[in-house]
Every structure is written in C-alpha cells, then in structure tokens.
Structure 1
C-alpha cells in the first residue's frame, strides 16, 4: 500500500553538518517529499554560504516524477528527504503547496540555479566540479564557462560509466572530488540515481552537492528549454514530450496520472477532511 500523506517522514540533515544547516528552514510535505520553504534568492545565498565553508550538504530539485517515485520507492524518498534542501522544481508542486497549505512559494529549478550559481561561484572565487553527464556535454560546458565566466575555476569534471562503479572506483571518485578543492559539485546522473548517490556520499565529500539532472545540455545550448509562458503554466513537461515523444510518452502518461491521484488524495486529507 502506498504511503498516506501524513506518514511520509521528513528527516533532518545528517549528523556532522554545520549547525546552520541543521537549523534548516521549515519544510512542507507535498505528497511524499518535504519541500524547503525558502525564497529563490535566499536559497542561492544559503548554498553559497555553505560552499564557502566547504560543508557537507546536498540539495534536490523536486518535480512530479520525483514525487511519484518517492511514493513507490522508500529508499528514494529517504534519500531526498534526508537532504539539506529540497526545492520545488516543477510548477505542479507549487500548486500543491498552495492547495494544501495556502502557501505561495518561489519556484527553484535546477535549470535556473545552475547558471546563477556559476556566476556567484565566479564572483566569490569558489571552484566548481561537474560530476555526470557525457564527455561531450562536459567539454561543451568547459567551453561555455570559459566564455561566459572566465574567472570561474573548474576544479574538475568526470563522466562516470553508465554501469555501477566498483567500490574502488567510487572511493577514487570521492577522493578526486575532495582533492580538487571544489566548493560546489553539480551532479548530473539523472533521477533517481543522482539523489541516491548524493545521499550515499555526501558526508564523505567536503562540498555542496546539487542534483541538477539534465540542466547541463540546456545550459550549453545542446537542448532548448520551453518558452517562458509554458514554464509559468506548468507545461514544460509537454514541451519536453514533443521533443522526445518515444522516450517520454509512457512515463508521462503514467506519472502524471498517478500525481493527479495523489494530489486529490492529499487535498482531501489537508483541506476537506480537516474541515469536517
């Protein structure tokens, strides 16, 4: 049986993190994930503050797919809800917060945060590391950063194989990141792999890890992002569907249908049942 809305645990950041990170902002449970209550600008500054101190922390950008995945997979839900920050990437999650709690929350997406943090990292002389994606996209990213952010220090880049890493390979990857001196690590392994990886290794890495999914190809221009009006209307998923129909049609039909069901169930619990 799927978890009910009120049974989803929202865990504090793991022990060993800085006191400021332990005292993280309030979270509101949106179906299966506890979303961090922060404005967009506050989130950027909070990440930069943690990065300056090279504190072990990690952040997830939640969308409809992640919410549904967390309902079905308790390990994934734990990985996301144990993170330092979980921000609403998808517009339907903003609708959920408003419907459940009457809360108006800024949208904080990996696509928007990535370029903003690259600029802030350059300005604050913080080095960054890119973990994931493909060698081709990483090389395009290197060129992009050199042109757009010439003072930014790229501490390292690594595109791991698609197979599971051996224990020795995993330990070497962690050692390389730490030795690089990076303050921020952009993790582009895709959901749910990147969230589980960050949860597993965060306490071993002295840096802020951020799971940005497929933001790198958009950043470098290899893929296009939906027009602003589609972003604001919660139709970004439809734009991606048109671009990759064969790969996404089955997932979107199933995931979106389940999300609507969970949303209605949660709305009844938060608003209707509590008013009876």
Structure 2
C-alpha cells in the first residue's frame, strides 16, 4: 500500500499554491481560445457537447490535448462511471501526439476521445507556451490510474483490467487490491494480441457488464489501445482509460523512472536506457518531429498574434 500511495503523491501535489484549474473546470480557467495551427482542432470538435463534462482542449501540433489536472480528470471520469456512461480517456506523451499528427486516421480517433491528458512534460509545456494553459503539472497515465483506483475504492466503483499478459494482469490485480483497501477488481483478463472479432468484442462487453465494473483500464500500448477504446466505446458503455505501460509499472514487471527524472522531462531517456533496441528509433524520430512541429506552430501563432 505504501508503495502505491507514494506513486500517487510523487511530485504531483508539491505546488506553491493550488492551481486555478483544480478549483473548477478548465473551461473557466483557460484564456480565450487562440487560433490553432492549420490542420489543428476545429471549434466544433473542441466545444461539442457530451453527456458528461469534458475538459477544454487545445491543439498541439494539430492534435487535441486536454488542458486539465488530476483533480478535474478524476472528477469527470468518476462522474461518467457512476452514471454508467461511455467515456474514453487517454494520456498522450510525445510519441502518441506525434503518431496522431502523422496518421490522419489515428488523429480522428483521438479527436473523438472525451479526454486526452498531457502525459508527458513536453506536451504540458506546449499547452502552456502555445495556449497559456497555466498547467503546473502533467496528468501522467500511471499516476492517473492510481488516483482513479483510490477514488473508486472510496466511492464503491468496481474496475476491470484488460490488456497485457496473464502474468502481468494477475500481478497488477494483486498489487492494486493490496494498495487500495476496499477496491473491487470486478474482473481482469489479458490481451489476445490481435484484433477481436465481432463476436469476441460482444463477449468481452458482456463479461464487463456482468462483472458490474463501472470503469475499465486498457493496457494495450499506443496506438492499439486508443483504437480499441474508440471501437468499443458504445459496446462497453462505461469509461475506458487507456494507460499503456502503467500495467507493467504497477505490476512491478518494469521499473518506473524516479520522480526527479520525470520532473526533469527525462523519462524518455530512462526508458531508452532500459530498452535501447526497441525505443531508439522511436525516440530519435518522434522527439525530433515534435520539436520541429512545435517550433513551426509557435512561429505561426506568434505571427498571427502580431497581425
């Protein structure tokens, strides 16, 4: 329990003063919307009404990202869970944002999500610099997962775990139950590592419904998990939060970067050292593209501001 609570509190509350977004909706605290770069989020996508409140979003290299906080994100997701409404949430770091900017189909999937949190510090910096979001912290997927589990245990909302391997998801369930007394893991199952057939999708949705879970965590890796949540939104019918590597971190099958490394925006380097062959090309390409496209967007907004 101590380990999980420590992760929840690691660096996320150490602020000089409460941030204004924690006192209400990001829509109230944000500056008036600036024009987005060409190919960015259109106003009808930003302001489209939904049954459950959604944080305000703004374009980062053409991809909609929610200017939100842990407090607001947890409130919105648990509201949808209590009302048993479909609600899709993902946490995008630089890799996910760049993939969405390069792939029009994936970008449309992300645009249809209810919440896209700034998982990486560079994404938070971009929101602050481009749109004056004033965010004092990112909303990191693994920490968001723990905060949601903490609240779900308190509010009596059962959770369902879907993804990764049988060993990982079994360990994860054990760690979460030990870390959050009262948390109900209504069900868990591993990925079958291929797209589900129509019949398998219906059967999965039925298992989740029979379990009584009000919140589903999906750990399939980006972009597969986002496509899964999008495709199963109405079929599953309750909030889905895609958290990727959080399954491995909280199951203790992979090491998570120390808090000071995360705060210094060097988590990518920490993970690269752990898995150099798999991640070298990804980080070389995506990090470079993010910096280049961010610079172009900043220049474009600066020129528009002077016009």
Distance in 2 (CA, whole Å) between partners of 1:258 and 1:128 is 37
Distance 2:68 2:287 in 1: 26
In structure 1, stretches of 5+ residues that fail to align are none
Q: Alpha-carbon deviation of 1:13?
A: 9.0
- Residues 14 and 82, structure 1, Cα contact 8 Å, conserved in 2: no
Match of 2:37 in 1: 5
Decide which moves more: 186-195 or 33-42. 33-42
Tell me how far apart the structure 1 counterparts of residues 264 and 282 of structure 2 sit (CA, whole Å): 20
Paired residues in the alignment total 269
Q: How does 1:1-276 map to 2 (within 5 A)?
A: 5-9=37-41, 11=45, 18=51, 20-21=52-53, 24-105=54-135, 106-276=137-307
Q: Structure 1: how far apart are the matches of 2:73 and 2:101?
A: 26
Deviation at 1:165, TM superposition (A): 1.9
Uncovered stretches (5+) of structure 2, i.e. residues with no partner: 1-35
State the alpha-carbon separation in 2 of the partners of residues 65 and 161 from structure 1: 24
Which digits, 9 at most, give the CA deviation of each residue in 1:168-225, with x for residues without a partner?
A: 1122112211222111100001100111111111112221100001101111222221
**CA distance in 2 between partners of 1:150 and 1:57 (Å):** 26
**TM-fit CA distance, 1:257:** 0.9
Aligned-partner Cα distance in 2 for 1:223–1:160 = 18
Contact 2:130–2:298 under 8 Å retained in 1: yes
Q: In structure 2, how many angstroms separate the alpha carbons of the residues matched to 1:13 and 1:245?
A: 41
Runs of at least 4 residues of structure 1 off by over 6 A?
Answer: none
Instruction: Please report the RMSD computed on the Cα atoms of aligned residues, expressed in angstroms.
Output: 1.8
Does the 8 A contact of 2:88 with 2:114 survive in 1?
yes
* 1:129 shift after superposition: 0.2
Secondary structure of the corresponding residue to residue 123 of structure 1: helix
TM-score computed with the length of structure 1 as normaliser: 0.92
Q: Is the CA contact (8 Å cut-off) linking 1:13 and 1:82 kept in structure 2?
A: no
Quick check: 184-193 or 216-225, which moved more?
A: 216-225
